[in-house]
Amino acid sequence: MKNKKSYRTLRRKLMKYGFAGTAYASIGFPTLLKAESNIKIGIPTLLSGRVAQLGISATNGIKLIIDKFNEAGGFNGRKIELIIRDSRAKPDEAARMTRNLINSNKVDIILNCEASSASFAVQEVIRESGTLCLHCISETSSLTADPSIRTWNAFRFARQGIHDAVGSASYAANLVKEKGLKKWMSIGPDYAYGRDSTATFFEILKKFSPNIEIVGQGWPKLFQPDYTEVITQIVRQKPDAIYSCLWGGDLVSFIDQAALYGTFKNSELFAINLADYTTMSAIKNLPEGLHSATRYIAAYPDRQENRDFDSAYTSRFGDHPTNWSWETAVATDFLISAIQETKSLNPKNISESLKGKSRQSFIGVGEGNTVTMRSKDQTLVNYAIGWGSTLPKEPYMKDIKAADWESIQELEKEWLTSKGWI
C-alpha cells in the first residue's frame, strides 16, 4: 500500500516537474538561451592565394579588439563570435558567402573584409537583406561616394581612394616643382581600384601641376607574376616619375623586378601602397628614396598609442600589423561602442549611432586624435595620411609629411561635384 502511494507521489512529482520543465523549455529556456547567445559577426574575406595576408591581417585586427571586449565580459554577458569565410577574392562567391552568413549562420553584423570587386557584391546582398555592414578594406571611392551605390546600412571604415589621391597629389606636386618631374607613367592593377586610383591621382595632380605629361600607362592583371612588359615600357619611355597603386605581392614583384633594370635610379617611384610592413619587409633589397603613403607603420602617427597598437599586435601574432589591420581594428572599435551605446543589435539603431561618431584612435588625426564616421556618405575621415620616402631598414620611412584634411575635403568636394554625385 505504502509502495503504491509512494509510486503515485513519485509519478505526480514527475508529472509536475515534467510539465514545469516543458513550460520552462517552451517559454523560459529559449529566452535564456537567447539572452546568453553570442553576438555573431560574419566576415567574408580572402584567406587563400597570393594576397592571403589581406584576410589574415584584417581578421587579426578584429580579433585584437574583440578578444579584449570578450575578456571584459562582453555585452551583458554576450560575447562576440566571429564566423570567417574565404571567398577566394571572387565577387560571386563573396555574394554567396555573405548570403550564407546572413541566412544560414544567422550573423547579426557583417564585417566585410573583401577587396574592392567583391565588396561591391557584398554591398548588393546587404542592401537587400538590411543587415548592418562595415566595409573594412575596399578603397574604391564610388562604394560610398556614388549615391546610387550607397545604402543606409553600410559604412566604410577603410581609407578611400580620393582621400589618398589628394594627399598623394599634393605631396607629388611639391616634388614636381622641386625636381622638375614632367614626364609621368603609371602602373596599376587592371581592375576597379587600380583604374579609379590612377585616374583620380592624375586628375588631382594636374590641378596642382598642369604641365605634367602622361607618357604611358601599364595595366598588369591582378596577381600577375611577371612585369617585364611594363618595365620595358618604362625603360623605353624614360619617365621622370612613376605612379603605382599596385599592392601586396604584386608591388613586391614589380619593385624586385624593376630594381634589376635600375629603373629607380632614373625615375622617382610614387607607390601609394608601399609603406606597409609586410610589403616592405618582403622586398629583397628595398631601395632608398621611393615615395609612399603611410599605409601602416608604427612611426606614423608618431604617438605612443600607435606604437602600443603595433606592439600589442606584434606580440600576439608575431608580425607587424598592416593597413588592413588598423582599418578593421577601428571598425570593430566603432561597432562595439555603438552596440554599447544603443544596447541593441538593431541595424537601424546602430546605424544612427555610427553616423557622425568620433572616437579617439591611435590612427586619428582629428581634434583630440580622433577619427570620424562622416554622416553624409558614411565613410571614415581624419585618419592619418602621410607621405615620405623609404629607408631600407626600420623604421622604413623618413621625412614623413602629413596630408592636410581640410584641403583633402575641399578637393574631394570638387571631385564629387565633377562626378555629379553631389
Partner 1 sequence: MNVSIKDSFKKDAIYSVVSWIALLSLYFIFNDHGIQDIITKVAILGLFAMSLNILIGYLGLIAFGHATFFAAGAYTLGLFLQSDFIIEYNIGSWSIPIALSLSVLLPGILATIVGVICIRLREIYFSFLTLAFQMIFYSLILALVGITGGDQGLMGGFPKPPFLGIDLGIHFHFYAFTTFIVILAVFLMRQIIESPFGYGLRMIRDNHERPAALGFNIRSHQLLAFIIAGSLAGLAGSLQALLDVGAYPEWAFWSKSAEPLFMILLGGMQTFLGPLLGALIFELLNDFVSANTRYYGLILGLVILIFVLGFKKGLLDWIVIRGRKN
| Binding footprint of partner 1 on the chain (CB under 8 A) | 47-48, 85-86, 88, 90-93, 95-97, 99-100, 102-106, 116-117, 120-121, 123-125, 127-128, 140, 148-149, 190-192
Q: Cell numbers at residue 364, please? A: 586619428
Please report which helix (H) or strand (E) contains residue 382, including its range.
none
In this structure, what DSSP letter does residue 137 have?
Answer: S
Quickly count: other Cβ atoms within 10 Å of residue 219's Cβ.
15
In this complex, which beta carbon is closest to partner 1, that of residue 221 or of residue 398?
221
CB of 141 to partner 1, least distance (A): 12
CB of 160 to partner 1, least distance (A): 16
Alpha helix positions (H), 191-322: 192-208, 228-237, 248-260, 263-266, 277-282, 304-317
All residues at 6 or more sequence positions from 37 whose CB lies less than 8 Å from its CB, including other chains: 78
**Do the beta carbons of residue 314 and residue 122 sit within 8 Å?**
no
CB of 180 to partner 1, least distance (A): 35
In this complex, which beta carbon is closest to partner 1, that of residue 124 or of residue 341?
124
Diameter of the chain measured on Cα atoms = 111
CB of 151 to partner 1, least distance (A): 8
In this complex, which beta carbon is closest to partner 1, that of residue 9 or of residue 103?
103
In this complex, which beta carbon is closest to partner 1, that of residue 44 or of residue 248?
44
**Do the beta carbons of residue 219 and residue 248 sit within 8 Å?**
no
CB of 405 to partner 1, least distance (A): 28
In this complex, which beta carbon is closest to partner 1, that of residue 126 or of residue 175?
126
CA torsion angle 94 100 103 105 (round to 10): -120
CB of 106 to partner 1, least distance (A): 8
In this complex, which beta carbon is closest to partner 1, that of residue 120 or of residue 387?
120
Pairing of strands 241-244, 183-187: parallel
